[in-house]
């Protein structure tokens, strides 16, 4: 408004004087106009620049000067990793994405601080206590504020769940411990479903499905729930991720055949998947770098000795790319049953075709190579195997009696 008035004054003065001369006052006025023009241009340029980026500004106490790690998941562009060094409990991040993208913040110990969903033009502020991450206030746009409110409502449940999952490795084979984790997750899922049903037009609903509901065992429910949301409530990149997960899980659903493979064992001999036909088969996908995988393999070693029988196959498929480290681990831990390795690890076409989305991951095949159970671990897998072998013995006995 001020600039407009000055311009009007400049125009009328020039017309009145018929450009005969420029007075000293008018020269001064023109300088003011020029300065205002420059300032306005800089402001507009800054505003345009902000629209080309998203910004996070955080004031979080008790960070103790430790770095914050950031993973920016840019759709169709891969991941961008950053390390932020807080200054007096303050840190700032600027990024760029034309579509809604996931920005994950992690503490120094790799524990997740939170996930935010941002696009260019967003300016998010965080304020709270690093010791109470689920109560950190999020302001800046509706999506993240709604997710922040969900976290606050369930802060006690989320805190307990994080603690239990952190100590899960040491309580791996306690059914009551696993049950308590399921109950906590069920509580979160109940609140998430209630929110989704009341806010179907909100982008936050898709995010809650992805963050808190999506699981191997309830993918069908998540798929159906996602289909009830209007197109505007489904971020393109997030929907694409979920559809990929759905398609992968379907590849290993009960009743399907495991994709054929030829892999080499620790002695460099070729193992054919068709060689398992004719017997029930337990396949475990694992990696020496994954703590839960190693826990599962050591547990399997204990009951494999007790159930070392010739009427079933047991196979470990390693995702390790370091062949020597893998061989050394087999030897050190005495993992003596059939072991093979995927040289490409997670990049293997077989992984994509078989629907493996996590490790450790187990598949139980019948005599024809059809999947009859999946994702069973620890004592649950052992009990399933004992029951299956018992049924096989019973059928064999019935056949012998008929003779």
Higher pLDDT, 42 or 331: 331
Q: Name the strand (E) or helix (H) holding 341.
A: strand 338-341
Residues 363, 393 share a domain: yes
Neighbours of 15 (CB within 10 A): 9
Question: From CA 286, how far away is CA 301, in angstroms rounded?
Answer: 14
Examine the pLDDT at 306 and tell me if it is beyond 80: no
pLDDT at residue number 197: 93
Q: How far is CA 42 from CA 28, 33, 49, 122, 165, in A?
A: 21, 14, 10, 20, 50
Q: pLDDT (tens digit, 9 = 90+) per residue, 94-134?
A: 999 888 889 999 998 888 999 999 999 999 999 999 999 99
State what percent of residues in the chain have pLDDT above 90. Answer: 40
Q: pLDDT (tens digit, 9 = 90+) per residue, 335-393?
A: 989 999 998 888 888 888 888 888 899 999 988 888 998 888 888 888 888 888 777 66
Higher pLDDT, 2 or 93: 93
Examine the pLDDT at 173 and tell me if it is beyond 90: no
The mean predicted confidence, pLDDT, of the chain is: 82
Q: pLDDT (tens digit, 9 = 90+) per residue, 315-337?
A: 999 999 999 999 999 999 999 89
Question: From CA 358, how far away is CA 380, in angstroms rounded?
Answer: 18
**Mean pLDDT score, 30-36:** 48
pTM metric for this prediction: 0.69
Domain with 300, as residue range(s), is 262-402
Asked if residue 240 belongs to a domain, the reply is yes
Residues 227, 178 share a domain: yes
pLDDT at residue number 347: 85
pLDDT at residue number 403: 59
By the 8 A CB rule, do 334 and 301 touch?
yes
Residues 58, 31 share a domain: no
Question: From CA 22, how far away is CA 290, in angstroms rounded?
Answer: 79
Asked if residue 158 belongs to a domain, the reply is no
Examine the pLDDT at 282 and tell me if it is beyond 80: yes
Q: What is the CATH number for 343?
A: 3.40.30.10
Residues 390, 270 share a domain: yes
Examine the pLDDT at 8 and tell me if it is beyond 80: no
Q: pLDDT (tens digit, 9 = 90+) per residue, 75-86?
A: 666 778 889 999
Range picked from 9-18, 190-199, 367-376 for highest mean pLDDT? 190-199
pLDDT at residue number 278: 86
Residues 176, 203 share a domain: yes
Q: pLDDT (tens digit, 9 = 90+) per residue, 233-248?
A: 998 888 888 888 887 7
Residues 301, 392 share a domain: yes
How many domains would you assign to the chain?
A: 4
Higher pLDDT, 123 or 254: 123
């Amino acid at each position: 408004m001020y600039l407009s008035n000055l311009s009007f004054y400049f125009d009328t003065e020039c017309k009145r004087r018929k450009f005969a001369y420029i007075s000293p006052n008018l020269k001064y006025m023109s300088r003011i106009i020029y300065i205002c023009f420059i300032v306005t241009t800089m402001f507009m340029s800054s505003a345009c620049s902000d629209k080309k980026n998203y910004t996070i500004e955080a004031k979080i106490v008790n960070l103790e000067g430790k770095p914050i790690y950031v993973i920016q998941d840019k759709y169709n562009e891969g991941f961008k990793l950053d390390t932020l060094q807080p200054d007096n409990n303050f840190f700032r991040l600027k990024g760029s994405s034309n579509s809604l993208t996931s920005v994950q913040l992690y503490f120094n110990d790799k524990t997740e601080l939170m996930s935010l969903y941002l696009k260019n033009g967003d300016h998010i502020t965080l304020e709270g206590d690093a010791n109470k991450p689920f109560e950190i206030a999020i302001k800046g746009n509706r999506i993240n504020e709604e997710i922040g409110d969900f976290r606050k409502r369930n802060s006690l449940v989320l805190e307990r769940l994080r603690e239990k999952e952190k100590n899960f490795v040491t309580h791996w084979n306690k059914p009551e411990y696993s049950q308590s984790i399921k109950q906590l997750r069920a509580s979160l899922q109940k609140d998430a479903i209630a929110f989704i049903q009341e806010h179907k037009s909100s982008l936050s609903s898709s995010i809650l499905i992805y963050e808190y509901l999506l699981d191997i065992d309830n993918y069908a429910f998540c798929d159906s729930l996602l289909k009830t949301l209007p197109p505007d409530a489904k971020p393109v990149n997030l929907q694409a991720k979920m559809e990929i997960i759905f398609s992968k899980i379907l590849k290993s659903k009960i009743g399907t055949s495991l994709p054929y493979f030829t892999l080499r064992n620790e002695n460099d001999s070729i193992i054919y998947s068709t060689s398992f036909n004719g017997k029930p088969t337990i396949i475990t996908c694992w990696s020496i770098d994954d703590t839960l995988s190693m826990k599962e393999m050591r547990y399997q070693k204990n009951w494999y000795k007790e159930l070392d029988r010739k009427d079933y196959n047991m196979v470990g498929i390693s995702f390790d790319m370091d062949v020597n480290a893998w061989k050394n681990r087999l030897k050190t831990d005495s993992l003596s049953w059939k072991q093979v390795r995927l040289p490409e690890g997670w990049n293997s076409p077989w992984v994509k075709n078989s629907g493996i989305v996590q490790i450790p991951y187990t598949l139980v095949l019948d005599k024809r190579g059809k999947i009859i159970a999946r994702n069973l671990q620890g004592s649950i897998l052992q009990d399933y195997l004992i029951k299956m072998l018992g049924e096989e013995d019973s059928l064999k006995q019935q056949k012998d009696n008929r003779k």
